Amino acid sequence: MNAKARPAGNVLTVEEDSCRVTLRLVGDYLVASDNSECGGMNVRFDGVYRRKQARARRGR
Summarize pLDDT for 3-48 with one digit per residue, the tens. 889 999 999 999 999 999 999 999 999 999 999 988 878 788 899 9
- Look at residue 46 and tell me if it is in a domain: yes
Distance CA 4, CA 14 (A): 7
Q: Considering only residues 54 and 47, tell me which one the structure prediction assigns the higher pLDDT.
A: 47
Identify the pLDDT of residue 57: 72
Predicted TM-score (pTM) of this structure: 0.76
- Look at residue 5 and tell me if it is in a domain: no
- Give the pLDDT mean for 52-58: 74
- Look at residue 45 and tell me if it is in a domain: yes
Identify the pLDDT of residue 56: 73
Cross-sheet strand order for the sheet of 29-34: 11-16, 19-26, 29-34, 47-50
Domains in the chain: how many in total? 1
Contacts of 6 (CB under 8 A, 6+ apart): 12
- Give the pLDDT mean for 41-59: 81
Domain span holding position 43: 11-50
